[in-house]
Amino acid sequence: MIQILHNKMLSSKAYMDIEAKYGAKNYKPIPVVIKRAKGVWVWDPEGKKYLDCLSAYSAVNQGHLHPKIIKAVKKQMKSVTLTSRAFYNDRLGSFLQKLCDVSGMEVALPMNTGAEAVETGIKIARRWGYRIKKVPVNQGEIITCNDNFHGRTTTIVGFSTDPGANEDFGPFTPGFVNIPFNNTNALEKAITPNTIAFLVEPIQGEAGVIIPDAGYLKKVREICTKHNILLITDEIQTGFCRTGKMFCFMHDDIKPDILLVGKALGGGVMPVSAALSSKAVMDVITPGSHGSTFGGNPLACAVGEASLDVLIDEALAERSEKLGKYFLEGIKEINSPLFKEIRGKGLFIAIQLTDEAGKARKYTEQLKELGLLAKETHEHTIRLAPPLIIKESEIDWALSILKQVFIG
Ligand SMILES: *Cc1c(COP(=O)(O)O)cnc(C)c1O
């Protein structure tokens, strides 16, 4: 039997062994144990230092343990942390106001995880479809894209096209239709009188940082408006400065009808998510029709507000734009024969490997050995998405590691 003696330092291997013994195997982590973190850096129990180029799937855009966010957490923990929505609390209003301000949306419904924000968006859209658009009840259709990633609930995995995500988890919620991503003709063709909404990631994150053609979202907006269907953008990963703007939809100068946010809204501390829309759309949600025990709790609101403040005060959108270009050009210059394509927007970058290169996992493990943490997505893609506070010198260091692995 493996014994964990608290306060006693164990080796990385011992931590991995006990997790493997008692944990469900729903992940296959890179073999590194993180015991401490600060900014863009993390440390293992042996004291080895790594550059974090995943940022917890963009949930740590502000960097680990950002002093402003941690200060807000500590302060809030001295007054009140959880009230439930049965009562008002003194933090929710100003947090939602700030979130609406930065996004240009009118109202917000706070939840916790990203998947809950997506579920919330689906519920808002369906009610709007039946009550406002007057689609026959229970006949509504929501269009989604092939290779989407919107979370892990049974409804959401039901419209995933990844067998790894939904095999043997059915039967699934009906009312979803899939079309190819980055294809506005397919969108127009898929629309029927019963179509309520189009749910899309402005850049497909988990699919491997798949960037649509310029103007795609603008055209999508036009089509949705023309056919009176709601445009729901899932910015859970692309939001909060990751792609060089506060939200990815801002590159196209459009506005979605429903905006879904999460991940970095929690500043790397706790799950904080929301669905935002106009007041007219959100009004279909009435008391008792939706909610969450933890959604909008005062601690989450304090974290959310501080997380937004950091993004604004440190101009992380501009930083992401500028350093993203620098990182992308640097990777292109490595010019490895193993690279098929390098793509990115802001500090949201993917290296697509050639088929001859073999599986990406081999390279992410080598990168880890040299002190750079990144995760493969699907078999041949490596995503690089460091905290947005990364410095140019740290990118230079990352480039030197990439060069060692991909050139030798
Ligand atoms: C991560 C993610 C989600 C799900 O968020 P969770 O907090 O893991 O539930 C949904 N949509 C997108 C685009 C994501 O990247």
The predicted pLDDT at position 378 comes to: 87
Ligand 1 centroid distance, CA of 333 (Å): 32
Nearest alpha-carbon partner for 41 in 53, 31, 29? 53
pLDDT above 70: percentage of residues in the chain: 98
Instruction: Give the mean pLDDT of 389-404.
Output: 98
d(CA 303, CA 294): 13
CB-ligand 1 contact for 118 (6 Å cutoff): yes
CB-ligand 1 contact for 149 (6 Å cutoff): yes
Instruction: Give the mean pLDDT of 394-400.
Output: 98
**12-62+316-406 belongs to which CATH class?**
alpha beta
CB-ligand 1 contact for 237 (6 Å cutoff): yes
Q: Which of 234, 348, 368, 375 is catalytic?
A: 234
CB-ligand 1 contact for 144 (6 Å cutoff): no
234 is annotated as an active-site residue: yes
Pairing of strands 273-277, 141-145: unpaired
Is 33:365 a contact under the CB 8 Å cutoff? no
Q: Which of 95, 98, 149, 181 is catalytic?
A: 149
Ligand 1 centroid distance, CA of 258 (Å): 16
Q: Give yes or no for residue 269 having a pLDDT over 90.
A: yes
406 is annotated as an active-site residue: no
For the chain, what are the domain ranges? 12-62+316-406, 67-313
Ligand 1 centroid distance, CA of 406 (Å): 30
Domain 67-313 = CATH 3.40.640.10: yes
The predicted pLDDT at position 55 comes to: 98
Q: How confident is the model at residue 8 (pLDDT cuts 50, 70, 90)?
A: low
Instruction: State pLDDT tens for residues 228-237.
Output: 999 999 999 9
d(CA 328, CA 342): 7
98 is annotated as an active-site residue: no
